[in-house]
Structure 1
Amino acid sequence: MKNICIDLGGTNIKAGIIENDQLLYACNGPSMSDQSFLKVMNSIEKMIDEMMKKTNSMPSEYGGIGLCMPGIIDVDNNKVLAINAKHEEASSFNFNAWAQDKYHLPIVMENDARTALVGEWQHGEGRGVNDIVMMTLGTGIGGAAMINGKLLHGKHYQAGCLGGHFTINVHGDQCNCGNIGCVESQSASWRLKELIAKAKEGHTLLNGPQEIDFKVLFDLVREGNQIAKEVIDNILKVWSAGIVNMIHAYDPDVVIVSGGIMNSKDIILPFMKEWVAKYAWTAHHSVDIKASTHTENTALWGINYLVNDKYFKKINDSVQ
């Protein structure tokens, strides 16, 4: 079955058409998080229309729409219950009505970190494993947990997906979630310039010729820049401490770390593995730390699986 899959992130929107585990067409654009949510949805509609035009297809040829995004998602009723700082108007948007009115299709919604986990479980580093934790590194820090092959949701849909908001420093900075000393507030992309400014001589990086992001920072580390190394070491400690907390909470066999930042996995993974081996309390097993296989489209693969699982699994089972 062919599905329309949308990954609405804090910075970018990714869209794809997936059929039989094949990505037929993909496109992307800015998330426009500073615009009204109606404009964001209009942009998504244009992306869907573009994909249908490029693949010479019509809505009647599709099984459903899958949409993942940050925040706490009521997956039973396709509602955004809570989201911080970006796309806040999504909480009042009727996604079911939108999907039916525009495309006459059912919709499945899920938190983006959970869909990234499912994507890796089906197609990447989580294959053959049913107890997995996911940490996503991007504009914010996301988390997800799978126990015995089932995504963890909880009564209020927030279990497992708030790993980025575990407290790792009670004297830390306030996060946009309202907590203090979160993994996210101490290490996410949206805090990067402030974190650099706190480092000794950090202003020399901020006032340099390059716009500083994680890619530039990791490149500077490889070149031997000690200021960049100090900043990155502190951030790696935060990410690693967050992973230890998630291991203690969810007892996984594997932790998968996802996001474009993992293009620097040559620096990130050895640090995380050493930290976890030293500080995680795992009495009877060791936990493997891996980088996501499908960094760019993991969430699209995951939401596609969830659409098929919700609407077509029973049909397929009855045919068999």
Structure 2
Amino acid sequence: MIALTGDIGGTRIKLAVVRDGQIIARQIEPALADQRWPDRLPALAATWRALCHEANIELATVAGLGVGFPSLVDAARGRILDEWGKFPGCAGFDFGAWARDTLGLPLALDNDARAALIGEWRQGAGRGSNDVVMVTLGTGIGVGVVMQGRVLRGAHGQAGTLGGHLTVRYGGRPCICGNVGCAEAEASTAVLRELAALRPEFATSALARETELDYASVFQLAEAGDACALALRDHSLGVWSATIVNLIHAYDPERVIVGGGIMRSSAHILPALQHYVNTHAHTAWGRVQLVAGELGDDAALLGGAWLVNEKNFPNASA
């Protein structure tokens, strides 16, 4: 089966051609997430066509378009349901109609974190388990869930995906979702500079001189003993750990996959998270295993191909 796939992120957009579970052509582009979504699409269509040309693939042989999008979506109708400060004009957009009219392809649309979970579940760190939660640490905190071998979506498409918006601090920081004290508002790259600026040590910290403040800098400078970086590291590890315990209590996984760009520091992150989970998660049956994602940027692209196959479009059996 051949599928065109996309992982639409707030910083980068990844596009690919996937054949029989293997990526045979790919392109990464800047997201330009301040642009209107309808205005962004012609360039993406051109890239998908160019990738098909590169891979010597005819569009007529493609089973469908599988896309992970950073929002709540109506997977059945191929519609984006709301906006999260990215791609104005995406809410209510009929993505399925666009795919048919522009590329002549049926669309399989899902949340981006759920698409990444599916990729890891089928071909990465979740192989062999039918009860998996994936937490993606990045600009935000994305979550996807598989329970008893079924991808969890819920009646309105939001089951499992709002794990980053579980309340971890009552009366805490306001979040873009409208809640307060969300994990994403308390420890994500999107709010990292704000969090750092609140620390009394920030003015004299090397972090204050970083033009692009990210968790790679935080973990590196924490190792060097920077007081502000140490405080941010420990605070963030606490938020992520508490979030994972909440997810374990809610969804009863046997394995939790932790992915995202932050996991370049997995040697520091995973042991701390595992220790907290072992100490605080109520799992009478045994211990939940925490593992790092294996597929990196490929996870949602491969998950997109599975979404196309799940839809059983006419060319999906080809």
TM range (shorter): over 0.9
SS of the residue 2:144 aligns to: strand
Number of matched pairs = 317
**1:6 and 1:14 in contact (8 A); partners too:** yes
Answer 1 or 2: higher relative contact order, Cα 8 Å, separation at least 6. 2
Distance 1:3 1:197 in 2: 45
Shift of 1:82: 2.1
SS of the residue 2:23 aligns to: strand
The farther-off stretch of 247-256 and 275-284 is 275-284
The farther-off stretch of 300-309 and 204-213 is 204-213
Q: Output one character per residue of 1:113-169: Cα deviation in whole Å (capped at 9) or x when no partner.
A: 111111111111111100011111111111111110101111111111100000001
> Is 1:237 the equivalent of 2:238?
yes
Shift of 1:290: 0.8
2:64 matched to which residue of 1?
64
Distance 2:32 2:228 in 1: 33
2:107 matched to which residue of 1?
107
Distance 1:192 1:41 in 2: 30
Shift of 1:65: 0.5
2:74 matched to which residue of 1?
74
Write the mapping of 1:167-316 to structure 2, written as runs, cut at 5 A: 167-205=167-205, 206-208=207-209, 210-311=211-312, 316=317
Task: Provide the aligned C-alpha RMSD in A.
Answer: 1.7
C-alpha spacing 1:281/1:314, structure 2 compared with 1 (3 Å): farther
**1:3 and 1:62 in contact (8 A); partners too:** yes
Shift of 1:201: 0.9
C-alpha spacing 1:90/1:132, structure 2 compared with 1 (3 Å): same
> Is 1:165 the equivalent of 2:179?
no
**2:64 and 2:313 in contact (8 A); partners too:** no
Shift of 1:88: 4.0
Shift of 1:312: 5.1
C-alpha spacing 1:312/1:96, structure 2 compared with 1 (3 Å): closer
Counterpart residue identity of residue 245, structure 1: N
SS of the residue 2:89 aligns to: helix
C-alpha spacing 1:315/1:191, structure 2 compared with 1 (3 Å): closer
2:41 matched to which residue of 1?
41
Counterpart residue identity of residue 82, structure 2: A
Gaps of 5+ in 1: none
Shift of 1:58: 2.7
2:127 matched to which residue of 1?
127
2:2 matched to which residue of 1?
2
Distance 2:178 2:146 in 1: 26
Shift of 1:61: 2.2
Distance 2:46 2:175 in 1: 33
Shift of 1:214: 1.4
Q: Output one character per residue of 1:198-247: Cα deviation in whole Å (capped at 9) or x when no partner.
A: 22311334432553211122221232323211111101100111000000
**1:80 and 1:90 in contact (8 A); partners too:** yes
Counterpart residue identity of residue 102, structure 1: T
Shift of 1:313: 9.3
The farther-off stretch of 49-58 and 241-250 is 49-58
Gaps of 5+ in 2: none
Distance 1:271 1:128 in 2: 25
**2:201 and 2:227 in contact (8 A); partners too:** no
Distance 1:246 1:209 in 2: 33
1:146 matched to which residue of 2?
146
**1:196 and 1:203 in contact (8 A); partners too:** no
Distance 2:33 2:18 in 1: 26
C-alpha spacing 1:192/1:122, structure 2 compared with 1 (3 Å): same
TM-score by length of 1: 0.95
TM-score by length of 2: 0.95
**2:201 and 2:228 in contact (8 A); partners too:** yes
Counterpart residue identity of residue 52, structure 1: C
Counterpart residue identity of residue 110, structure 2: E
**1:244 and 1:279 in contact (8 A); partners too:** yes
SS of the residue 2:296 aligns to: coil
